[in-house]
Amino acid sequence: MTRHLLLGGGPLHDFAATTAVVERVAEEQGLRTTTVTEPDEAVALLTDAAAGGAEPFGLLTVDALRWAMAAPAYAAQRHEHAYRITDAAAAALDRHVRAGGGLLALHTAVICFDGHPHWKALCGAAWAWGTSAHPPLGPAHVRLTADGRRHPVTAGVGDFTVDDEVYGFLDEEDGLTPLLTSAHGGRDHPVVWAREVGAGRVVTDVLGHGPASLEHPAHRRLLAQAMAWARRDRAASP
């Protein structure tokens, strides 16, 4: 049974509810999930496993929102939620993937860790303050791309509409190939993509603002298939 490390928690979203959905999908996939809410605890668990102190984690899922919160608008929440990732912690996340581990980065994961170069390179994009944006929460029309029709993560998913926030105008890595897109602000934006990074695999899904999005049948299927592809499990079913 594959070990699954799930990092949740943070402000402005109902992470308890979204993390619970991720846990259920993982359980259906036969994963053994350890859920934590502090990034440093996740890094310590990954580091211990990599050093042989415990069974390795086949998959890391980040359903969290933790960043430095330097802007005055977040001053009231800074004491409880602000987090600055160290270079050593970012390198540990990078090693997990490049050594062959899977990563599933959900929704606010692209805002986490202030766009640290290691994290941006893993996720394939990062939130750019002052540039990135999303429309108000509401119906989002999500479309399958030509690449999405051929990829195991989006097999059988098709186009769908879901209540969500569509992140756009992100700071993207070169060569990002979307599997699903959604339009706002005059252009299509990638909302799901999958990449191989070193020996590992990463799926980034910037949908998932709330549990209703994650429980949408098409999105739930996508999550299951993303978990399977990221950990190289060909036997897993959606």
Residues above pLDDT 70, as percent of the chain: 98
Give the mean pLDDT of the chain.
95
Beta bridge partners of residue 203, listed in sequence order: 104, 194
**What ranges do the domains of the chain cover?**
3-230
Give CA–CA dist 83/79, Å, rounded.
9
Give CA angle at 167 (163, 169), nearest 5°: 150
pLDDT, mean of residues 63-89: 95
In this predicted structure, the answer to whether residue 236 has a pLDDT above a threshold of 90 is no
Beta bridge partners of residue 139, listed in sequence order: 163
The pLDDT assigned to 237 comes to: 44
Query: 67-74 contacts: CB < 8 A, separation 24 or more?
Result: 67/111, 67/112, 67/113, 67/114, 68/114, 71/129, 74/11
Helix%, strand%, coil% for the chain, nearest 5: 35, 30, 35
pLDDT, mean of residues 206-228: 98
The encoded tokens of residue 105 equal: 């980065």
In this predicted structure, the answer to whether residue 234 has a pLDDT above a threshold of 90 is no
Homologous superfamily of domain range 3-230: Class I glutamine amidotransferase (GATase) domain (3.40.50.880)
Count CB neighbours of 139 within 10 A: 9
pLDDT digits (tens, 9 = 90+) for 20-74: 999 999 999 999 999 999 999 999 999 999 999 899 999 999 999 999 999 999 9
Give CA–CA dist 117/126, Å, rounded.
9
Grade residue 238 by pLDDT with cuts at 50, 70 and 90: very low
Count CB neighbours of 229 within 10 A: 22
CA 127 to chain centre: 13
pLDDT digits (tens, 9 = 90+) for 117-175: 999 999 999 999 999 999 998 999 999 999 999 999 999 999 999 999 999 999 999 99
